[in-house]
């Protein structure tokens, strides 16, 4: 039977994506015809477009589209909101950062919007083809954004490192997909699920394919032992881009992996594959937290802490259940709020961007810029997982689901490691309030957009931390919907 390629209502289904793609083109047109106008309006316009895309979520209808390759459901909406939130926060911080560095122009925001579209495709793709296309749209935008501060050698170096590593990882993902196609005759999640219901997992090609795929996605997630690019890339990248990169692509990769692992669930019980994932999660938590302790560069410290946080999220994915998917979704939202907030404060330090932004640069910030200091301290408390912040409740939920799934040892290591992490997060707070600023350290310039973004993340962190129930119910319902079909 020949199905129509475009089902009824496809336009509504991808309305958020259409808004962002069209908006990106609009930004480029403005930049092309009137660079002067572009410099003044493209930042606010990008925020408006991202909010419009969020609003457009109301018009999307659940279901599968484009020949059963594109699924809109509750969980994709939750992850879409995470991507859009990350985009809005990064855009707000970028506006004043780019202005200060004198590199403000429309294409920056256009690339950010298109990268968001790539992530939405990764979250909604039922076929590995769609996931890989989304991943590549995202990656190519990231390559350019990382090198956006063209005059800075470190920015160029970050772009180079991410490009070589990213393209290398893409090769692994593609080869893994090709071998899955050979073994299962399908690259569709449903096809894989059908196959894995009966497969005993003894086919060596399948194991090779799985390892290649996990290695490739591990690169994108900065999961140990595929993490070494992360600190260098975050350090060299324009800080708002590092903020966005440290959160949104990880969330997109995780939702793609959730679908994949869900389809593979029967094989996980018969093979050692899960053990490999558990080992990677444990390694990430240990390496991330241990190396973060010795970092004095704030961006490198946040990079290693990011490696550890991906480790926490992987614990929940060892067994894909309703609760674990919901836990990862909530963790992704929380992580977006607190990590972009922390990077945002770093982006406002008015220092030469070619030099490392170290702990000494935020010494005494709590008194020189009380609002920035407060925001940074709250983000650090949340990253450390201290109550009453969102970081506490989402970390608690992750470990709770892991223990309920029977991964007690891994969860225990995770709890132990998050206690270790308190040391280096609180060291930042110590520098904020207990140290005097050295002579010649510039006072960060405050701006409306960055202040607004920090307010959003602080309110979000406290709101989720104190009233978590509505969000948990929403994510839980969305996760049940994902796994039922």
Binding residues for another protein, rule: CB under 8 A, are 129, 132-133, 136, 139-140, 143-144, 147, 150, 153-154, 156-161, 163-164, 167-168, 170-171, 174-175, 177-179, 181-182, 185-187, 231-232, 235-236, 291, 294-295, 300
Question: Tokens 């809109």 appear where?
Answer: 72
Smallest separation, CB 136 to another protein (Å): 5
Smallest separation, CB 100 to another protein (Å): 22
Helical packing angle, 248-270 and 273-293, nearest 10°: 140
Smallest separation, CB 296 to another protein (Å): 9
Smallest separation, CB 156 to another protein (Å): 5
Of 133 and 437, which has the nearer Cβ to another protein?
133
Of 205 and 466, which has the nearer Cβ to another protein?
205
What is the CA 45 to chain-centroid distance, rounded? 23
Smallest separation, CB 140 to another protein (Å): 5
Of 231 and 468, which has the nearer Cβ to another protein?
231
Of 8 and 294, which has the nearer Cβ to another protein?
294
Smallest separation, CB 185 to another protein (Å): 6
Smallest separation, CB 159 to another protein (Å): 5
Of 235 and 382, which has the nearer Cβ to another protein?
235
Of 116 and 139, which has the nearer Cβ to another protein?
139
Smallest separation, CB 2 to another protein (Å): 14
Of 185 and 270, which has the nearer Cβ to another protein?
185
Of 151 and 270, which has the nearer Cβ to another protein?
151
């Amino acid at each position: 039977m020949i199905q129509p390629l475009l089902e009824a209502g496809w336009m509504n289904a991808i309305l958020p994506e259409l808004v962002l793609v069209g908006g990106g083109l609009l930004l480029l047109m403005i930049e092309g015809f009137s660079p002067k106008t572009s410099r003044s309006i493209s930042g606010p316009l990008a925020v408006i477009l991202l909010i419009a895309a969020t609003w457009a979520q109301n018009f999307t209808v659940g279901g599968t589209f484009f020949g059963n390759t594109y699924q809109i459901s509750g969980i994709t909406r939750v992850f879409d909101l995470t991507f859009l939130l990350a985009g809005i926060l990064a855009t707000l911080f970028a506006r004043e950062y780019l202005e200060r560095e004198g590199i403000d122009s429309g294409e920056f925001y256009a690339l950010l919007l298109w990268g968001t579209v790539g992530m939405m495709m990764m979250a909604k793709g039922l076929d590995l083809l769609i996931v890989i296309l989304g991943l590549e749209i995202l990656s190519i935008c990231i390559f350019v954004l990382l090198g956006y501060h063209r005059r800075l050698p470190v920015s160029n170096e970050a772009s180079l490192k991410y490009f070589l590593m990213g393209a290398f990882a893409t090769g692994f993902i593609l080869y893994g997909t090709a071998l899955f196609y050979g073994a299962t005759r399908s690259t569709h999640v449903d096809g894989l699920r059908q196959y894995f219901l009966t497969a005993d997992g003894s086919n060596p090609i399948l194991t090779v394919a799985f390892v290649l795929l996990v290695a490739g996605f591990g690169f994108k997630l900065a999961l140990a032992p595929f993490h070494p690019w992360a600190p260098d890339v975050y350090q060299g990248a324009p800080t708002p881009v590092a903020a966005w990169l440290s959160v949104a692509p990880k969330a997109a990769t995780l939702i793609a992996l959730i679908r994949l692992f869900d389809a593979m669930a029967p094989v996980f019980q018969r093979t050692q594959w899960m053990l490999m994932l558990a080992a990677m999660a444990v390694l990430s938590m240990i390496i991330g937290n241990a190396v973060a302790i010795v970092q004095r560069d704030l961006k490198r410290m946040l990079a290693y802490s990011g490696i550890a946080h991906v480790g926490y999220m992987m614990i929940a994915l060892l067994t894909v259940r309703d609760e674990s998917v919901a836990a990862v979704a909530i963790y992704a939202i929380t992580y977006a709020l607190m990590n972009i907030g922390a990077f945002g404060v770093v982006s406002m330090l008015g220092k030469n961007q070619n030099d490392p932004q170290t702990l000494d640069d935020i010494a005494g910030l709590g008194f020189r810029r009380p609002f920035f200091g407060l925001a940074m301290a709250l983000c650090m408390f949340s990253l450390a997982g201290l109550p009453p912040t969102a970081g506490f409740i989402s970390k608690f939920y992750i470990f709770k689901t892991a223990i309920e799934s029977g991964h007690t040892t891994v969860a225990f290591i995770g709890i132990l490691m998050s206690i270790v992490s308190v040391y280096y997060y609180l060291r930042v707070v110590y520098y904020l309030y207990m140290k005097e600023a050295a002579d010649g350290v510039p006072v960060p310039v405050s701006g409306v957009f960055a202040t607004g973004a920090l307010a959003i993340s602080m309110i979000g962190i406290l709101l989720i931390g104190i009233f978590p129930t509505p969000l948990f119910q929403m994510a839980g319902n969305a996760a049940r919907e994902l796994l039922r079909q």
